[in-house]
Every structure is written in structure tokens, then in C-alpha cells.
Amino acid sequence: MEYINLKNSDLTVSRFCMGGCPMGGYGWGEVHEEDFIDAIHTALDLGVNFFDTADTYGLGQSEKTLSKGLGAERQKVIIQTKFGVRVQKGKGTLIDNSPAYLQKALENSLRRLNTDYIDIYVVHYWDQKTPPADFVNELEKQKHAGKIRYYGLSNARPEVLALCRPFIGQFVTCQHEFSLCCRQWEAEIRQTVDIMDVTPLTWGSLGQGILSGKYDENTTFGENDRRSRQIYTNFHGEKLKDNLRIVKELREVAANHEKSCAATAVRFIMDLFPMGVPIVGIKNAKQLRDIVSAQDWHLALREMTQLNRISHAGASTSKEMPWQKEI
């Protein structure tokens, strides 16, 4: 297992972060709690110590399942959870980074995670109205109170990155969607590294599963699978065709190393951002083991070039906000 020190912190994490969105149990087809628990135990056995979740994933269910799976091992791992996507019963969803909501959301996450502290507390999306100074000030208060150890950003656009410049050196991570089939936030990722001096994390590292190579043009998803919705562009129309072209070349490269397409897609991210950590959503121990097989080897320069070329030809460039996708 490869490990990395997160910037501006004393945290050492595995270069794979287990993504907890499927653990919410909502919108990922048929899933079973015992499979997630088994995957968490397997992760711990294999040296994975970094877990990503959010208060919105299954409206808190993901945090509860993570806590159940970790049990007494909680102290040994780094938990990253997020706040800011506020679901109001019958009133829809809004983004709220106000200090008052942060306090409430943090107490709820601590309770669900059955822990006294959160290692990295993440601003899920910026609400475009709370001045970053206000939430940073509140995050610092919670840090001093011992309820969080560090804090991070997520889906940060250039305007919020600019406003966060006075706080360079305070955030430890920033996560953006990035994969061979989604490069629309690449410039922002590089800004977070070069200017904000944080460790970059990627979500959607498998393009929600398309880069595993197991889907084709005839694939259909059930209603309880978010990927049936058009907003999950990776599985629809021209974008799906582009993605299948990427998968074709990915399969060739993967065969050179006797690895799966999924592991190779993850390795591509690790080699492109040697200072970064991919987050991958996991449904069971088999997927977990496969993703861990992306560790401790490298793609050759010519393979990086080949994948880079096909990826740039097919990756999306639109900049719509994806937050409606993931609750």
C-alpha cells in the first residue's frame, strides 16, 4: 500500500480512499449493509486507512454504516465527512455553509459516526453567499474545541478558491470530480495544488463505474440506480460512446499489466497526480480488493500518453454543478 502525508497536517493516509456514497444505500441499485461492512474490514486488513463519507449520503446512513464497520478500529483511521448540502423535508435541497448550520450538521455527523472527533471536515459545496472567512472561523472554533482535527474543500470553483486565498495553509484537502472520462475540473485541481497548497482528492474516479469496462451501449439501470438519469451523462448518448472508446484503450493498457480496467483507471489518476489520492465508491470486498490492486506499480510514459490522448478527446468539458447527482 502506498501512503502519503496530507498537506498542512500530521495525517498519513493510504493512496486510496474508500468512497462511502453507495453505503448510503440510496440510488446505487441493490446494495447490502453486510457487503459494506465486509468491504470495510477488508480495507482495514489491506492497509486502507482513509474513508470518505458525507451527511447527505443516504441522509446519514453512510456515516452510520461506516461507524458500524469500523467499530473499535475507528481511532486507527482517517474519516472525512462533509457538510453543506441541506435537505429540508418537503422543501427540497439547498446549500448552506452558515456557521449555525455547520454547528448543527457537525453534531449530527459526530452522533451518527459515534465518535468524538472528525479527522477532516469538508465544505461539500460553497453556497455562494457565506463569506469563506465565516465558515473558516467556525471550523477553527470546532478545531479548538477538539471536534474536528482538520478541514477541507470540495468542488471548489475558481471564485471560491480566490476568496479562500487568505486561508492558504489551513485546508488540508480539496476534492473534485476527475477521471479519464471527466477532466472538466483539471485546471481547478492544479490550482488547489499550486496555489492553495492542499492535497488533491478525486471523486468519480471510475466515472461512476463506466471505466470498470463492464458496461456497454445496451446497459440499462433500474429506477433505484441514479445512473438511469440523464444527468449521469457518462451512461447516456454521445458521452457514453466516447467513454466506450476510452474503455477500449484502457482495456489494452490494463492487459499489459494483467490488471483490471478499474485498477488501471485509478492508477492513471495516481500517476498523473503523484501528490493526490483517488476516492472510489465501493459496494463490496471484491471491488475493494480490485481497486487496491492499483497500488505499488506504475504506468509507462507511453501508456500515460495513450490514455491522456484518448481521454482528452472524449472527456467532458461542461461545467454544470453536479451536486444534484449525489444525494
Contacting residues toward ligand NAP, per CB under 6 A: 19-22, 28-29, 52, 124, 154-155, 175, 203-209, 212, 214, 262, 279-283, 287, 290-291, 326
Q: Which is nearer to ligand NAP, 12 or 219 (CB)?
A: 219
Residue type, 244: L
Q: Which is nearer to ligand NAP, 240 or 262 (CB)?
A: 262
Q: Which is nearer to ligand NAP, 49 or 208 (CB)?
A: 208
CB of 211 to ligand NAP, least distance (A): 7
Q: With contact defined as beta carbons under 8 Å apart, do 125 and 105 qualify?
A: no
CB of 144 to ligand NAP, least distance (A): 26
CB of 220 to ligand NAP, least distance (A): 13
Residue nearest ligand NAP (C-beta atom) = 19
Q: DSSP state, 287?
A: H
CB of 19 to ligand NAP, least distance (A): 3
Q: With contact defined as beta carbons under 8 Å apart, do 14 and 47 qualify?
A: yes
E strand or H helix at 110, and its extent? helix 99-113
CB of 250 to ligand NAP, least distance (A): 12
Q: Which is nearer to ligand NAP, 284 or 308 (CB)?
A: 284
Q: Per DSSP, what are the bridge partners of residue 83?
A: 123
CA 177 → CA 36, 83, 174, 284, 297, distances in Å?
Answer: 23, 17, 10, 22, 23
Assigned C-alpha cell, 299: 504506468
Which residue has 477541507 as its cell numbers? 152
d(CA 167, CA 171): 7
CB of 16 to ligand NAP, least distance (A): 11
Q: Which is nearer to ligand NAP, 124 or 146 (CB)?
A: 124
Q: Which is nearer to ligand NAP, 220 or 301 (CB)?
A: 220
